[in-house]
Structure 1
Amino acid sequence: MLTARCVECECELPASSGRGRPRRYCSRGCQARAYRRRRDHGPTTAPRPAPELSGPTGADPRERLIGLAVELADSGGLDAVSMLLLAHHAAMPAHAVYRHLRNRAELLGAMAERVTAVPVPGDMGPPPDPRQRLERLAQDEWTMYREHPWLLTVLATDRPPTGPAVLAMVDRVVAAFTAAGYDPAGAFRAYLALSGYVQGMALLIRRDPVDLPYHVWWSATRDRLERTGRARRRPWLAAAGQTRLDTDLDTWFHFGLGALLDGLLVNPVR
């Protein structure tokens, strides 16, 4: 007897009750991705291929699961990460996954720990000047979001994970603001302002692999704005049309970062 599989990720589907239409997707996330692809690129019968995951087979099972989950998220966003899909790609029964990770919230926290604990290549230690330290720390956080766009959803919340690596990331920024002259409460507020800027800019990083390319979206949007008269008396729209999100985003980030640090460091709270 053939096993029914999700037409999007090819994960095995639960047995049908025999009533109603046959189930085609394993989750609402897979159904939404299939819809977006049909909307943007037309109908297709070929399922989206699963990423080639290469977790070390000899590693601790929990660490291997976390590594596989990071690869899944890097490839398909957080919608591609579920306990069932993780079990499928790890070639483990679902109940075995739950022995190592209690639930998805614990999994996401462990993924954030894995990513934030990775040392920066070539890091020679923090610069002695507080501003230079803050610039580097902001750049490090920005680079993490660039490499792992899904991480923003995990960290940018009022209930973020609080593992040792995530807390250490906050410690480094607070310590730099303290060295610049802030008292502890002011240093934490300054950290929130800086991290909030980095995370806000990170919203511009494309997270969904099936989204329309930026230049295609902008071309259609510009035509619509000109057609409806909304482009009149807005010269900044013409300037925006001369930029490319994929190449200019880092420039925008550093422009705003410099201006923000100028303001935060001019009169530290003591």
Structure 2
Amino acid sequence: MLGVRCVECEAELPAGVGRGRPRRYCSRRCQARAYRRRREHGPATTLRRVPALPAPTGGDPRDRLVALAVELADAGGVDAVSMRVLARRAAMPDHAVYRHVRNRVALLAAMAEQVIAARPPGAAPLPRDPRQRLERLAGDEWAMYRRHPWLLSVLATDRPPTGPAVLAMVDRVVAAFTTAGYDPAAGFRAYLALSGFAQGMALLIPRDPADHAWWSATRNRLERTGRTRERPWLAAASQTRPDTDLDTWFRFGLRGLLDGLLAGARSTH
């Protein structure tokens, strides 16, 4: 029989002792996260921002569950994904889901694996030139965050998943840096700088329609209060929109970063 689990992260809870209300969360962090989601999006059971999705059919049951979880996260963010919600959407009892995915942490790791392992149909082979290869690999990572903004919260942590697809993604970038002249340790540091840039820019990806309204209101307020008059950069920035200009900003930063990283590789010879 399954024990009582945290309603937020699905971790198993210790058996209750004494009197009082039954414990529902494994930690204050989970409790605060659940409260924040209810405050911003309503109770998790309503999933107001997640459209009805059909139960998966055909293929490996675990792969189907992970694919459905990816759809849930794409529609409502990572907080829309829980083992209980996944079971309901898959038309399965809770215990059946746990037979295929150990817990929510394992589910998120499997979701990242599935997204990273997926190759766009007709994708061209990687270029041989290290600079062009790095531009392509960084662009691929950026495109993943654009398609799946929730992926950032899974990968950009001090305990990222380390499945085969994640490690292969790192392998490709480190190999490009070693081809350019870095030793493996320095190549990994260069990878951290490059991936960190992509992840930092991904924080600017709009995740909610309200983000556009906030940007417009903030731009109007800055212009109205005169804060753009003596700041040419702010006046120019106020004419941009993150949803339409973010790719341009990313490419601009990527060019400068690769200029510096590849110059550093040449200086080691």
Under TM normalisation by the shorter chain, which class is it?
0.7 to 0.9
How far apart in 2 are the matches of 1:128 and 1:266? Answer: 18
Match of 2:41 in 1: 34
Match of 1:133 in 2: 133
Alignment map for 1:7-22 (pairs within 5 Å): none
Alpha-carbon displacement from aligned partner over 1:139-192 (angstroms, at most 9, x marks no partner): 100010000000000000111000000000000000000000000111000000
Give 1:253 deviation, angstroms.
Answer: 0.4
How far apart in 2 are the matches of 1:94 and 1:35? Answer: 22
Q: Which segments of 5 or more consecutive residues in structure 2 lack a partner in the other structure?
A: 1-20, 22-33
Normalised by the length of structure 1, the TM-score is: 0.80
Give 1:54 deviation, angstroms.
Answer: 4.1
Alignment map for 1:228-243 (pairs within 5 Å): 228-243=225-240
TM-align CA RMSD: 2.2
Alignment map for 1:208-247 (pairs within 5 Å): 209=208, 211-214=209-212, 216-247=213-244
Whether the 8 Å contact between 1:170 and 1:191 is mirrored in structure 2 is yes
How far apart in 2 are the matches of 1:147 and 1:200? Answer: 16
Normalised by the length of structure 2, the TM-score is: 0.80
Alignment map for 1:52-71 (pairs within 5 Å): 52-54=52-54, 56-71=56-71
Whether the 8 Å contact between 1:29 and 1:80 is mirrored in structure 2 is no
What letter matches 1:260 in structure 2?
Answer: L
Give 1:228 deviation, angstroms.
Answer: 4.6
Q: Which segments of 5 or more consecutive residues in structure 1 lack a partner in the other structure?
A: 1-18, 20-26, 37-45
Match of 1:160 in 2: 160
- Alpha-carbon spacing, 1:79–1:47, altered in 2? closer, same or farther (3 Å): closer
How far apart in 2 are the matches of 1:91 and 1:29? Answer: 27
Alignment map for 1:1-270 (pairs within 5 Å): 28=35, 31-34=38-41, 48=48, 50-54=50-54, 56-207=56-207, 209=208, 211-214=209-212, 216-268=213-265, 269=268
Which gives a bigger RCO, structure 1 or 2 (Cα 8 Å, sep 6+)?
1
